[in-house]
Amino acid sequence: MTNQNKETFLDRIATKSGRARHQLSKHPFIPVNDLPETTLSGKSQDELFEIAKKNSEAVHVTFERTDTTSLASLLNSFLSKKDIQNLILPTTDKWSTYGLSEWEKERSDSAEFWLPESSRKENLEKANSADGAIGFADYLLAESGTITVATTPGQGRGFHFLPTHYLSIIPKSCILSRSRQAMHKYEDAISSGKLVTSNINFITGPSNSGDIEMVLVVGVHGPLDMTYVVVEDL
Amino acid sequence: MTISTSDKPFLTRVKESENDHFMQQSVAKAQDAQWDKRTAAREELGNWEQWRDLGEQIRQHVIKYLPDYLEQFSDNVTKKGGHVFFAQTDEEAANYIKEIAKKKNAHKIVKSKSMVTTEIDLDKVLLSLPDTSLMETDLAEFILQEDDWDEPTHIVFPTLHKNRNQIQKVFKKLGYSGTNDPEEMAKFARKYLREYFMQADLGITGCNFAIADSGLINLVTNEGNADLTMAIPETQIVVMGMERIVPSLKEAEVLDNMLCRSAVGQKLTSYCSFSGKQVVGESDGPSDFYVVILDNGRSNALGTDFEPVLQCIRCGACLNVCPIYRHIGGHGYGSIYPGPIGAVLSPVLDGYEKFGDLPFASSLCAACTETCPVKIPLHNLLIKHREVMMDKLKMDHSFNNVLMKGAGVATSSPILFKMALEGDHLGSAPLSKSKKTTVDNLFNYGHIEKAPSLGAGWTNVRDLARPPKHSENFRSWYKKHKKEQQEGVSHD
Ligand code: SF4
């Protein structure tokens, strides 16, 4: 069905520009240089880890490294250090990948879970009441200290923004150099149908604002602090 | 509606701004801080000039094929179950959004910072609906709203003109009883806004870039309010200027990096999100998703010398290096788009009758052009505006008024005149006899005997000496000025 509103608008701006419509297939975008691909390229995973650590700490992130055997105790110390009373966790099969199946089971009574079968209101209220969230990131970008997460039914959008304290678990193998590499991964996953999502978040440290006299205030609408845990043997 | 923020004549606004010493100090402080942060962030990335080439190329390409990219984007949004409305005017856009709000029976509306919604006066339109309240949730916009909808003064730092005591006073009206400490006040705003957020049924956001090949919206923020706006309410309406589009996630990523470094000196801001209509299985995010694509005068630039202004990614860097902005602040411009970009864009969107004086609020020192991440030739476009106005004058004598306003800008305010003379030799070029002003020939004129009508107010009395080509560019001016400031030298 033709959308008249669209056609009229696009015809009008094409006429104004003096250029015909439907030329793009003959003139696709070809970048003038390959800086997005080559910047920070050729680094080993160890080098990327060091760069990621430095850049994450520069944006007020607590940066931890551990392995699958020590991960559970690191999570426990996070919970006690932040004095977290109302924890929210995602619904995902990643628990077993990280050797956390037991840890997760032990929390099934005390923690809330973002549940695919729950309503918008229920999940959002759980996240809003939570003073802590422990979630899984897809990638960590070394250059900027950024975690990336695609929304899934078990780890919704509000999961990352409503709780007060936030911890994100990332495998060391998923440290990428820059945002370009993450885009390649997401584009591939979406086009192959492996990933079905409405939303991808790139999160770089806790929320902040300089709106009052340009004084940096950390923690405005989103979490007040962020912890990244890089799991070395994954 | 208009992008105008004031009915007062330009010179009155300039004089008022000149008397606002807190604003001037704040702008100077912000410019100084941003100068250092921006430079460091760009240097750290490396190859900045080549990144600018790429940024410029992306933006020029999408503007060249704008109808095709908008069509692709619109088709992808629709395929995913969203709705797209193309609005030629502000009124069409605002009415469409108002009808959605009515249809959805929206009572509590949350908005995240968006210049385009300010441009279409959306808050006023929505607040005219019965039983509807609306909350600007960006901290700065929230402060402006609660301060009787005060006007923003900067496109990235809207409350630059307010001090902590003024903000404390605003918050006291909302029941705040704490100190003027920014952190304490921000915590109060967080709690206050969170309660509202949790009840919101309609979310309205702007759009940094629309992704043509996926139908997603890219938003770049620091506070997290935009993401809550896209997570909590069932309905989301995105309002975007028609030029804010990129081919794919890859080009969005390039521009996000350039935007963050240019706007706030960060590698990436806290939140860069790529977002659309909720998909099956997800419980939050908008189940109803609307995008309003706005022209509202932007197409006036298409096919003209002003087309490059559509490349703008609203980073605010040109404001942060502008000596005129430093002096008169955002309110001085009388447009929601201030600074060099505002001086170029406002007359394109809303005509010379209203904004014909803005192209004269410039020293043409070219610092804006030099810093622009997408290489918009801002100072050349300011000269072009002056030329166009002069050409119009030849055909239409009523235009004399506009031009005299421009001449008045340069001659009536000591600081602007001083900057026009001292900032750079280019400043007086349009007053020269040259029919066609080009950057090359500008430097070859040394003296102006008789300016066309624009300069007549001045040259009828005496010949206007063309300032010599100044060895001092903006950087050296800036460094000297900063040093003097630190040493407490006053120019008053
Ligand atoms: S004109 Fe250039 S520098 Fe100014 S806001 Fe736009 S992109 Fe930034």
- The predicted model gives B272-285 an average pLDDT of 98
pLDDT band at B382 (very low <50, low <70, confident <90, very high): very high
- Going B440 to B441 to B446 to B452, the CA torsion angle's sign is negative
E strand or H helix at B406, and its extent?
A: helix B400-412
Predicted local distance difference test score (pLDDT) of residue B488: 55
CA distance B467 to chain A (A): 37
Is A10 close to B70, i.e. CB distance below 8 A? yes
- The predicted model gives B281-286 an average pLDDT of 98
Which of A214-223, B178-187, B273-282, B372-381 is least confident? A214-223
Is B57 close to A31, i.e. CB distance below 8 A? yes
CA distance B307 to chain A (A): 9
Predicted local distance difference test score (pLDDT) of residue B29: 86
pLDDT of B467 over the 80 cut: no
Summary mean pLDDT of chain A: 96
**Of the candidates B51, B206, B88, B245, which has an alpha carbon nearest to the alpha carbon of residue A24?**
B245
DSSP code string of B236-258: EEEEEETT-EESSHHHHHHHHHH
- The predicted model gives B447-468 an average pLDDT of 32
- Could you tell me if the CB of B314 is within 6 A of ligand 1? yes
Is B223 close to A202, i.e. CB distance below 8 A? no
In angstroms, the CA B406 to CA B386 distance is 9
pLDDT band at A122 (very low <50, low <70, confident <90, very high): very high
pLDDT band at A219 (very low <50, low <70, confident <90, very high): confident
Q: What is the CA radius of gyration of chain B?
A: 23
| Residue at B400: amino acid letter | N
pLDDT of B157 over the 90 cut: no
Higher pLDDT, A81 or B485: A81
pLDDT of B180 over the 50 cut: yes
In angstroms, the CA A70 to CA A32 distance is 47
Which of B15-24, B167-176, B247-256, B298-307 is least confident? B15-24
pLDDT band at B369 (very low <50, low <70, confident <90, very high): very high
Residue B158's contacts (CB-CB under 8 Å, 6 or more residues apart) are A211, B113, B138, B140, B141, B144, B152
**Of the candidates B266, B138, B256, which has an alpha carbon nearest to the alpha carbon of residue A59?**
B266
CA distance A136 to chain B (A): 17
- Top residue of B162, B222, B309 to mutate, by most chain A CBs within 10 Å, is B222
Predicted local distance difference test score (pLDDT) of residue A11: 98
Cβ atoms of B242 and B298 within 8 Å: the answer is yes
- The predicted model gives B333-347 an average pLDDT of 95
- The predicted model gives B453-472 an average pLDDT of 34
Summary mean pLDDT of chain B: 84
Taking the domains of chain B in order of start, what are their residue ranges? 10-299, 417-486
Predicted local distance difference test score (pLDDT) of residue B391: 85
User: Is CATH 3.40.50.10420 the classification given to domain A43-231?
Assistant: yes
Q: Which of B186, B253, B277 sits opposite A212 (nearest CB)?
A: B186
- Geometric angle at alpha carbon B97, from B93 and B100, rounded to 5°: 145
- Top residue of A212, A216, A218, A226 to mutate, by most chain B CBs within 10 Å, is A212
Reading the block at residue B489, the tokens are 């030298």
Predicted local distance difference test score (pLDDT) of residue B399: 58
Nearest CA to ligand 1 atom 6: B312
Predicted local distance difference test score (pLDDT) of residue B490: 42
B26-40, B98-112, B437-451: which has the highest mean pLDDT?
Answer: B98-112
- Could you tell me if the CB of B255 is within 6 A of ligand 1? no
Q: What is the pLDDT of residues B41-82, one digit of tens each?
A: 999 999 999 999 999 999 999 999 999 999 999 999 999 999
**Of the candidates B180, B183, B162, which has an alpha carbon nearest to the alpha carbon of residue B171?**
B180
Predicted local distance difference test score (pLDDT) of residue B449: 30
In angstroms, the CA B241 to CA B313 distance is 11
- Which residue is closest to A199 within chain B, CA to CA? B275
What is the maximal distance between C-alpha atoms in chain A?
Answer: 67
- Could you tell me if the CB of B246 is within 6 A of ligand 1? no
ipTM exceeding the 0.85 mark: yes
pTM of the model: 0.88
Q: Which fold has domain B10-299?
A: Rossmann fold (3.40.50)
- Could you tell me if the CB of B373 is within 6 A of ligand 1? yes
Predicted local distance difference test score (pLDDT) of residue B416: 58
- Could you tell me if the CB of B139 is within 6 A of ligand 1? no
Which of A176-185, B113-122, B200-209, B390-399 is least confident? B390-399
Question: Which residues in chain A are closer than 8 Å to B163, comparing Cβ atoms?
Answer: 213
Predicted local distance difference test score (pLDDT) of residue B14: 85
pLDDT of B451 over the 80 cut: no
Q: What is the pLDDT of residues B402-445, one digit of tens each?
A: 555 555 555 555 555 555 544 433 333 333 333 333 222 222 23
Which of B154, B220, B243, B374 most suits a substitution to test ligand 1, by most atoms within 8 Å of the C-beta?
Answer: B374
Which of A13-17, A19-23, B126-130, B394-398 is least confident? B394-398
pLDDT band at A134 (very low <50, low <70, confident <90, very high): very high
- Which residue is closest to B180 within chain A, CA to CA? A212
- Top residue of B37, B228, B270, B295 to mutate, by most chain A CBs within 10 Å, is B270
Predicted local distance difference test score (pLDDT) of residue A164: 96
For residue B398, the SS3 value is helix
